Structure 1
């Protein structure tokens, strides 16, 4: 039976939503009648194709803004674009992410800068721009897609872990700061989801560790998750819909694990 989350007509901005987790979350919100602004890199023709198909399938208004998550002024314009087009902003999902796997002593400094910019700093810049809009409305939902790596560490991913820990800490600070404004801020911390990013990591980890890819899958990737299964997009979408609805009004400043038991061990 379909669930009505009471968010039809709301407006959402989702960073990094032209593929993977972000694209799946955009679809889940659009199916509830939420108007969505997509963001991310990729082939322009494919992005337009996906945007049009999602709009046709859901009958929500789906727009695209190509803000670069390393450029604060473009991030601010992405948030302002929601107000220019729809007159409001109800939901911000900070999802954009990149990855590079290497030992710290071999980690290129420019990769560190890029990881921090895309994962952590963009979350700050987008939230900073969105909060005044949400305060004026008396309601808003900020959902940051962190990671199990925002709670525990793995080898060869220290910069990614640092960025995701930062996202979790920033979320907690926001939750406390905004507790009486009608705005909630929460972090979803997934385990491994078989996204294009994770598929690339399998190859990178194989090189970094000097082992075959099938052993990376068994001994490295899913070794962390007691249930030995990838997290599905629908599991993340269910948590998102709860958090952005009125049912999630008392959840704020939380880091919510969806990781097959990984961080329980």
Structure 2
């Protein structure tokens, strides 16, 4: 069912996005890769995927803060590889600081990349999905799309926004064979949180692994970070026919964080 379909994954050169790319490629899904790499590095990565999985791949490092860059990137990718069937909005950045001192440029960048870019990619992808009467939109939100945490005003605002956007798209697309869902992970073992762990290690005068454990268990009863591939496998399930009635949902994968 999924072999030969086209998936666009933003932020797919590391972490959750890269893991999801491997999971989908294993099913013969063609990939539009995107991330913070040079063109040369990105093309090499795309070629690796193409050779390893015998699929079509393209890469772009478009600036997700710029709607025109997003539009140009998606136009070029679709012309080369085909209409987008599966859209995974995964790209994200983080900055922690209290609201009083939060830098304006960091606020603007986080909202642009973590929230507004998802709207632009969805708007660009929907016509093709509607024409084909099939589509899967999966937005990687966060447990912070469901709860708040100190020093994360921009991140929480963006991720709460992603959850709301997902619900609206699901409602508007419910009769068109298109589902839209938000995955809300807790702690995931990705480079995005390494700076937070290092800061805790320095503050508490402990080693990196102890700081990591302390960070996780301060919020999440399950005392371990999730492997990014687990999210990739959940994405694959949401793309399957078995999940065709799951839409408009904010789905926690949070080690019982929000069960408290």
* TM-score, scaled to structure 1: 0.92
Matched, 1:254 2:249: yes
Question: TM-score, normalized by length of structure 2?
Answer: 0.93
In structure 2, how many angstroms separate the alpha carbons of the residues matched to 1:234 and 1:200?
A: 22
Distance 1:259 1:84, change over 3 A: same
Q: Name the residue aligned to 2:149.
A: 154
- Cα-to-partner distance string for 1:173-216 (whole Å, 9 max, x where unaligned): 11111111111100011111111111123235567xx4346464
Secondary structure at the aligned position of 2:225 is classed as: coil
Correspondence 1:168 to 2:127: no
The offset of 1:252, in angstroms, is: 0.5
Q: 1:59 to 1:38 in 2, by over 3 A?
A: same
For residue 256 of structure 1, give the secondary structure of its aligned residue in structure 2. Answer: strand
Contact preservation (8 Å) 2:65, 2:117: yes
Structure 1 residue 132: deviation in Å? 1.0
C-alpha change, 1:171 and 1:211, in structure 2 (3 Å) is same
1:64 maps to 2:59: yes
Match of 1:211 in 2: 204
SS of match in other structure, 2:196: helix
Matching residue within 219, 225, 239 for 1:244: 239
Quick one: which of 128, 144, 151 aligns to 2:123? 128
CA distance in 1, matches of 2:217, 2:194: 13
* Distance of 1:102 and 1:29 partners within structure 2: 36
1:115 equivalent in alignment to 2:110: yes
2:134 aligns with: 139
Q: How many residues align?
A: 258
Counterpart mapping for 1:1-265 below 5 A: 6-204=1-199, 210-212=203-205, 214=207, 216-265=211-260
8 Å contact kept, 1:82–1:89:
no
Q: Partners in 2 of 1:166 and 1:201 — Cα distance?
A: 23
Write the distance in 1 (CA, Å) between the matches of 2:257 and 2:173.
30
Spell out structure 1 runs of 4+ moving beyond 3 A.
Answer: 43-46, 204-207, 210-216
Distance in 1 between residues matched to 2:86 and 2:139, nearest whole Å: 11
- Cα distance in 2 for partners of 1:187, 1:251 equals 11
Separation in structure 2 between the aligned mates of residue 244 and residue 229 of structure 1, nearest angstrom: 27
**Matched residue SS, 2:235:** helix
Question: Counterparts of 2:20 and 2:227 in 1: how far apart (Å)?
Answer: 11
State the Cα distance separating 1:75 from its structure 2 match. 1.1
Q: Distance in 2 between matches of 1:159 and 1:206?
A: 24
